[in-house]
Structure 1
Amino acid sequence: MKTRTLNHRIRLASLALVAGTGLTAGSMAHAQDQGTVNLAYVEWSSEVASTNVIAAVLEQAGFEVELTSLSAAAMFQALSTGDADAIVAAWLPTTHADYMERVGDNTEDLGVNLDGTKLGLVVPEYTNVDSIADLNDNADSFNGEIIGIDPGAGLMALTEEVVDTYDLGLNLRSGSGATMTAALASAIQNEEDVVVTGWTPHWMFARFDLKYLEDPENVYGGAEQIHTVVRSGLEEDMPEAYAILDAFEWTPEQMGEVMLMNQEDGSDPYENAKQWVEENQDVVEQWLNG
């Protein structure tokens, strides 16, 4: 796929991971015939966390897992064509609604894997602006721009609608999740005003004192949920993987633990996911027995 930015195969988990799960060496040998599950995701800190965790859990059940990082549009396209088996990264009912409408006939929505999300424009707590409607009057304080993320993200499309609805004179600058948080951190270090596209759950809310700007026109909508979506036919092809994906559900607090681990210098998201899985076997067993 031309849109593919990262494609790496995660091998079967070590026996150290298996030791605490009740899987024996014999069952692991049998499990190697389980096949490969292809997971697609977007490079958002929340989706990096959840995708690596479910990958580690699927490995624990004996599957090989292939992860592919894509833009939001390419992620849903890969799912609809069968190039990807599943995603745990569908923000609904608003952010990814258009994508789901396009691929709905070739996919199956397994429901919510995380409840309690939010989208909007975010500023430091010290900023003397509380509403999107007041941004124009303070545009100079924000250098006339809103710091966004990757241009294909549903959040960016919604923010473009916000700019139109509120007739904002600020330019929406695209980039990535990393460039957005870097700009946020730099501004806070210098006690400057900055406005960024934000979402919950995200590690930046644990690290910085932030607030969402009020959205009186309700363009961003209310709280969202993150759904697991699989390609049509996965239940018949890989019933055990399907059952695990169907049972996968966790909390913003649990996701936040993994996201914060991923922010440590030199840390590896997959190794962090394996560590979290090892330390939370009571939760993982519920997914494995789903």
Structure 2
Amino acid sequence: MKKKTWLTALTALLLIAVVAGCSSNSGGDSKKIKLAYVAWDSEIASTNVVKEVLEQKLGYKVEMLQVDAGPMWAGISDGSADAMVAAWLPTTHASYVQKYEGKFEDLGPNLEGTKTGLVVPAYIDIKSIDELNDTTGKAVDYTIIGIEPGAGLMMSTEKALDDYGLRDKWTLLESSSAAMTQQLQKAYNNQEPIVVTGWTPHWMFAKMDLKYLDDPKNVYGGAEQIHTVVRQGLKDDDADAYAFLDKFNWTPDDMAAVMIQIQEGKSPEEAAKAWVEANADKVDAWLAN
């Protein structure tokens, strides 16, 4: 009888432990969040700063999802990712907004004053995209060094090839943002001609004397903004993360400071941590009720 009582008590204790464990895991799951981003230097900087704040200030475990632009928007829209701070609007990611309209929540801009277009070193004697078929084209083998396929910037450049009558001679070389900057730096060091797809904010403008080619047909649009976009339902599921993401806002100079540290050898995590520690007032404002 005593043995039966003891077993009953043990079973009850085990049941309580299991329930407690489930409750603990459930609470833990609610403190996990997935951030999607594209491997642009600007988005690596911003997403790591957001990750640092979510983990160190709000107690989240953050999973980083590095993907191309299309899967980034798809992930937010189908709920497999929670948020991104990498939506370039209104022009660069316009096709994704149209495709997934009504399936995500746009929290508005987190950075003002971005730009995209074709970029050349300042020492090249050319001012506009419509001059590319002249001597510059032959000098660069009629090749524009691009970034990841599917990026909004690449879509705009494909349109530029058509609108400026460059399609017959010119090739847009698919690459990556890292490979593009490597090619640009190499050409710049040797004072050689090169044409690349570029955007600001970006550390390359701090390290090299570069210029955008004029875009009289306005293919790339004017100044843009980077928006924060989250999945539907995030506000109900993770109110504190949602509130922070809704307030996250910084300047091109803030972003450049993180990018330059990364470019000079710090890991993205180290650079983000250093920026967050050095900008406590801004971070506190993001977290204020």
1:212-239, CA deviations, whole angstroms, 9 ceiling, x for partnerless residues?
Answer: 0001111111000000000000001111
Aligned-residue offset at 1:179: 0.9
2:194 is the counterpart of 1:198: no
Secondary structure of 1:249's match?
coil
2:40 is the counterpart of 1:37: no
Aligned-residue offset at 1:152: 1.2
Give the RMSD, CA atoms, in angstroms: 1.2
Higher mean C-alpha displacement, 165-174 vs 193-202: 165-174
Show the counterpart of 2:248. 248
Q: Which one-letter code corresponds to 2:177 in the other structure? A: G
Aligned-residue offset at 1:97: 1.0
Distance 1:248 1:87 in 2: 11
Secondary structure of 1:118's match?
strand
Secondary structure of 1:136's match?
coil
Detail structure 1 runs of 4+ shifted over 2 Å in the superposition.
Answer: 31-34
Show the counterpart of 1:58. 54
Gaps of 5+ in 1: 1-30
Aligned-residue offset at 1:105: 1.6
2:280 is the counterpart of 1:281: yes
Show the counterpart of 2:23. none
Aligned-residue offset at 1:165: 0.4
Q: Which one-letter code corresponds to 2:62 in the other structure? A: V
Distance 2:99 2:235 in 1: 21
Aligned-residue offset at 1:41: 0.2
Aligned-residue offset at 1:63: 1.2
Distance 2:288 2:58 in 1: 10
Distance 1:172 1:34 in 2: 44
Aligned-residue offset at 1:96: 0.6
2:76 is the counterpart of 1:79: yes
Does the 8 A contact of 1:34 with 1:62 survive in 2?
A: no
Distance 2:69 2:29 in 1: 31
Show the counterpart of 1:175. 175
Gaps of 5+ in 2: 1-26
1:23-73, CA deviations, whole angstroms, 9 ceiling, x for partnerless residues?
Answer: xxxxxxxx9675101100000000000000011111121111111100100
1:82-139, CA deviations, whole angstroms, 9 ceiling, x for partnerless residues?
Answer: 1100000000001111111222222100000000000110000010011000000121
2:207 is the counterpart of 1:211: no
Map 1:126-205 to 2 at 5 A. 126-138=123-135, 139-168=137-166, 169-205=169-205
Secondary structure of 1:127's match?
coil
Does the 8 A contact of 1:112 with 1:225 survive in 2?
A: yes
Report which of the two structures shows the higher radius of gyration computed on alpha carbons.
2
Map 1:265-276 to 2 at 5 A. 265=265, 267-276=266-275
Does the 8 A contact of 2:33 with 2:62 survive in 1?
A: yes
Distance 2:130 2:212 in 1: 13
- If the length of structure 1 is used for normalisation, what is the TM-score? 0.87
1:236-283, CA deviations, whole angstroms, 9 ceiling, x for partnerless residues?
Answer: 111110000000000000000000011023x21012101110111001
1:147-178, CA deviations, whole angstroms, 9 ceiling, x for partnerless residues?
Answer: 00001100000000000000112211010001
Give the alignment partner of residue 42 of structure 2, picking from 36, 43, 46.
46
Q: Which one-letter code corresponds to 1:115 in the other structure? A: E
Distance 1:281 1:33 in 2: 28
Q: Which one-letter code corresponds to 2:282 in the other structure? A: V
Does the 8 A contact of 1:32 with 1:62 survive in 2?
A: no
Does the 8 A contact of 2:30 with 2:237 survive in 1?
A: no
Secondary structure of 2:36's match?
strand
Distance 1:209 1:180 in 2: 16
Distance 1:286 1:101 in 2: 33
- If the length of structure 2 is used for normalisation, what is the TM-score? 0.88
